[in-house]
Structure 1
Amino acid sequence: MRKTLMVLALVAAALAPTVALAEPSAKALALTKRMVAAMHVDETMAPIMRSMTRQQFEGVVAQQKGLNDQQKAALSRAVAETMEESLNDGLMQKVMDKLIPAYAEVYTEQELQALVDFYESPIGQSVLRKMPQLGLVAGKAMGEIMPGMMADMTARMSKKLEGFDKLGK
């Protein structure tokens, strides 16, 4: 889960609006590259991107009431094929080209060195290897929590929006 969160933070950093920070030093960039390599981000980000794209797509398709099963399957194939083509056409390198400087801008050299030291260590590598297992366990836990949480949030939101349909009339 920590690895997934770290990768998502990297993706979020690449997609966030640009903030004027100091240019990263050559050392910070080098440390960030070492950290990314130690974390195997290039190997793990593609599956995460595939999963996120699939989940977003499934949400969009679920809202499309007029699609039959064949249309849904065709859309699913098109999304999967498009993602693979993008990945094969250098998407990951483009992402990394944006993420490495972003990471180096946010963290100090000392913080980056500590991250590198951890992720290059046997313990750090062990933690990284266990992340998929933790992701499954955490995902199951969240799956158990989400229905109740969504019901609670819906009830709270409905209460806050009582009379919403009458606003501005």
Structure 2
Amino acid sequence: MRKLLAISLVLLGVLTVPANAEEVTDADVRQLLVVMHMQDNLQVIKSQMINHMIQMADDEAAQRNDFTPEAREKLHRVLLSFFTTVYNKILSWDKIEPVYLEVYKDNYTDDELKGMLQFYSSPAGQAVIRKSPKIVTQILFRMDQEVSPQIPKMQSQLKEMIEKEVTNHN
């Protein structure tokens, strides 16, 4: 019984937040979001998503014999307008900011948030913010170079696995 009480007290001590710990506030998170240029980054993300969707549609249209270059250009303009409208509506800052606030408050302590604010306010932190999109793009491009050549093989293996499973179940 004493062991159970001792373990309970230890766990309680580990799982509770010290009384002097400060709550992360919306204002603190908003300040960090401003320093990190999150609203601007959201615009970049939306643009990348829109371009990706248009590229997918363009690739699909390119495979069709009945799509002239003029028709593809018109499709591009229509899709650009459509996806811009949709993404601006569903990914507006008014809708996304509360998500950031909740997630940051749920995952960072006040001390961590203040440390991040200090770092991202520094020249080195601003360099990280400024260069991260390019770095992520380069990493994704290089990963794609590794994965893309493997896709036909994976598709073939997947088809074989599905056929094998269907045969085994019949």
Q: Shared topology, TM-score over 0.5?
A: yes
2:73 aligned with 1:73: yes
The worse-fitting range, judged by mean Cα deviation, of 143-152 and 47-56 is 143-152
**Which residue number in structure 2 is paired with residue 130 of structure 1?**
131
**Which residue number in structure 1 is paired with residue 110 of structure 2?**
109
Q: TM-score, normalised by structure 2?
A: 0.64
Runs of at least 5 residues in structure 2 that lack an aligned partner in the other structure: 1-21
2:28 aligned with 1:31: yes
Contact 1:28–1:112 under 8 Å retained in 2 = no
- CA RMSD across the alignment: 3.3
The worse-fitting range, judged by mean Cα deviation, of 29-38 and 137-146 is 137-146
Query: Could you list the per-position Cα deviations for residues 100-120 of structure 1 after superposition, in whole angstroms to 9, with x for gaps in the alignment?
Result: 223222322233222222211
Q: How does 1:27-106 map to 2 (within 5 A)?
A: 27-60=24-57, 62-63=59-60, 68-69=67-68, 70-85=70-85, 87=88, 91-106=92-107
- Bigger Rg, which one: 2
Runs of at least 5 residues in structure 1 that lack an aligned partner in the other structure: 1-24
Structure of greater relative contact order (alpha carbons < 8 Å, 6+ residues apart):
1
Contact 2:23–2:110 under 8 Å retained in 1 = no
Contact 1:38–1:120 under 8 Å retained in 2 = yes
- Structure 1 counterpart SS, 2:103: helix
**Cα distance between partner residues in 2 of 1:85 and 1:147:** 31
**Which residue number in structure 1 is paired with residue 5 of structure 2?**
none
**Cα distance between partner residues in 2 of 1:89 and 1:145:** 33
**Cα distance between partner residues in 1 of 2:160 and 2:91:** 48
Relative distance call for 1:100 and 1:77 in structure 2 (3 A) is farther
**Cα distance between partner residues in 1 of 2:90 and 2:148:** 39
The letter for the 2-side match of 1:163 is K
